[in-house]
Chains A and B, each alone.
Chain A
């Protein structure tokens, strides 16, 4: 019989605890810049596909043909879902959530924690729905049709939604450190 570790919490449910990201202020700022850049870059993937689609010309051997496949509003619905999910997830105040997830005895199941968990669920579900929707558009509109020359639009759509999800992850990790450091600077 040995004395349990000091970090052991008897109210724990899982055998492994989630890794805690302790990031310093430098990593925090770099991660925030990186996340913003990735957000804009993923939007530019979609804008690239949309610009190419709107300036697409018929092939030179048949100059009076109509370009069969264009990007339409359907291609933008996953992007709208992902962006909403990104906004919801990033605007959430992490302090409620940390109290809820770390199993603090006080503030563990308060109404704020419950609401924060529900809002987080909705945000992540919107982002995952955006990614799944972009895959759906890629498969249904660009792969299993007779015109397969326009797969680029669908791939860019998937890249855009994946990029927004990655950007949200980076932002989450870089914001998960406490901002005590800057607090001490100001006082």
Chain B
């Protein structure tokens, strides 16, 4: 889901670097749990197809950041072109839907077990959510697009 639609206020006051570190540690634990779920969903049944889900969710924040850079490259030119930003959003929507529906497809055609399907979806969602929350809290507080 688009992160900047729900402008999440950072719950961390800026004068406490310790709580920053706590948040980073917490997020890294969540990220590790997500990767653990994905890898477990592959390794338990010795079938490494669900690893594609992790790849998709890791790639999912990339189009928005790349396209935000592209459209911002000519800040001073009067021809602002929002097509790059829109294309990035379209690609993000495609990638997230791919990550959600690929395990369902694999489970439906009995290539992986249903448990592996749900585990990889949960793990991929954790990874993607971690990336979104991290970039929302720590990266890009100056611009509206964030990433």
Chain B residues with CB under 8 A of A183: 80, 82
> Which of A5-13, A35-43, A108-116, A124-132 faces chain B?
A35-43
Chain A residues bordering chain B, tally (CB within 8 A) = 28
Chain B residues bordering chain A, tally (CB within 8 A) = 29
- Bound together, the chains give a CA A33 to CA B63 distance in angstroms of 12
Chain A residues with CB under 8 A of B96: 37
Contact of B80 among A40, A47, A182 (CB under 8 A): A182
* Interface pair B111/A32, CB less than 8 Å apart: no
Interface residues of B in 64-109 (CB under 8 A from A): 72, 75, 78, 80, 82, 85-86, 89-98, 101-102, 105-106, 108-109
Contacts A33-B2, A182-B82 given; indicate if A40 touches B101 (C-beta within 8 A): yes
* Interface pair B111/A55, CB less than 8 Å apart: yes
- Bound together, the chains give a CA A48 to CA B106 distance in angstroms of 8
How many whole Å from B107's CB to the nearest CB in chain A? 10
Contacts A33-B2, A55-B109 given; indicate if A186 touches B75 (C-beta within 8 A): yes
Q: Is A22 an interface residue (CB 8 A)?
A: no
- Bound together, the chains give a CA A140 to CA B92 distance in angstroms of 37
Q: Is the interface of B mostly helix, strand, loop or mixed?
A: helix
Contacts A29-B2, A29-B89, A36-B93 given; indicate if A44 touches B82 (C-beta within 8 A): no
* Interface pair A41/B97, CB less than 8 Å apart: yes
* Interface pair B111/A44, CB less than 8 Å apart: no
- Bound together, the chains give a CA A161 to CA B75 distance in angstroms of 39
* Interface pair B109/A30, CB less than 8 Å apart: no
* Interface pair B101/A36, CB less than 8 Å apart: no
Chain A residues with CB under 8 A of B110: 55
How many whole Å from B61's CB to the nearest CB in chain A? 13
Interface residues of B in 9-64 (CB under 8 A from A): none
- Bound together, the chains give a CA A182 to CA B86 distance in angstroms of 12
Chain A residues with CB under 8 A of B85: 182
Chain A residues with CB under 8 A of B82: 179, 182-183
- Bound together, the chains give a CA A76 to CA B123 distance in angstroms of 33
CB-defined A-B contacts under 8 Å, sample of 7: A35-B90, A36-B90, A48-B105, A55-B109, A179-B82, A182-B80, A186-B80
Residues on A lying within 8 angstroms of B by beta carbon are 26, 28-30, 32-41, 44, 47-48, 51-52, 55, 171, 175, 179, 182-183, 185-187
